[in-house]
């Protein structure tokens, strides 16, 4: 029964996140790369540009950019029905996830301040899920 509820929640999220249904591979592997990065487009470009305006940059690294976009989509998942979390709870979730990556010894994540996590959540709502409660 819990599995069914979980699948329903994912289905609801996918129907509300305007980027979740974009064409692309079913799975993505994230790894640090020194290869040239292709520019993002659409909602991703808007999201990354907004982060950049807040001083949150990917330093030209695809793995960091991918992580930021993952956190952005996760933000929308947390803030959309059927069980939307308040913004502050979502910000704390972003902080925990990003700082856990750093504590695990991953060389590429930047430690986030509360303001960084708040700005990431705000940028995600604008770019990916404008219908989420702010």
Give the mean pLDDT of 7-29.
51
Identify whether 11 is part of a domain.
Answer: yes
| Kind and range of the H or E run holding 86 | none
Domain count, the chain: 1
User: 110 in a domain, yes or no?
Assistant: yes
Which domain range does residue 53 map to? Answer: 2-16+41-128
Does residue 73 lie in a domain region?
yes
- The whole-number pLDDT of residue 41 equals 79
Instruction: Identify whether 104 is part of a domain.
Output: yes
Confidence of residue 14 (pLDDT cuts 50, 70, 90): low
User: Is residue 96 included in any domain, yes or no?
Assistant: yes
Distance CA 94, CA 10 (A): 19
Q: Peptide bond preceding 23: is omega within 30 degrees of 0, i.e. cis?
A: no
**Is 31 inside any structural domain?**
no
Distance CA 46, CA 123 (A): 8
Query: Quick check: helix, strand or coil at residue 55?
Result: coil
In whole angstroms, what is the distance from residue 118 CA to residue 112 CA? 10
User: Which tokens go with 59?
Assistant: 């330093």
How many whole angstroms separate alpha carbon 58 and alpha carbon 67? 9
What's the confidence (pLDDT) of residue 110?
A: 73
Tens of pLDDT, residue by residue over 35-72, are: 445 556 799 999 999 999 999 999 888 988 999 999 99
Best mean pLDDT range from 5-9, 28-32, 102-106: 102-106
What's the whole-model pTM score?
0.69
């Amino acid at each position: 029964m819990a599995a069914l509820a979980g699948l329903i929640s994912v289905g609801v999220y996918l129907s509300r996140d305007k980027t979740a249904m974009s064409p692309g591979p079913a799975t993505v592997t994230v790894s640090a790369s020194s290869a040239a990065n292709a520019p993002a487009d659409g909602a991703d470009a808007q999201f990354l540009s907004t982060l950049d305006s807040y001083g949150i940059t990917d330093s030209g690294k695809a793995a960091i950019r991918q992580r930021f976009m993952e956190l952005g989509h996760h933000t929308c998942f947390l803030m959309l029905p059927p069980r939307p979390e308040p913004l502050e709870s979502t910000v704390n979730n972003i902080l925990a996830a990003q700082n856990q990556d750093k504590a695990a010894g991953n060389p590429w994540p930047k430690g986030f301040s509360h303001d960084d996590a708040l700005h990431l959540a705000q940028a995600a709502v604008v770019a990916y899920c404008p219908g989420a409660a702010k």
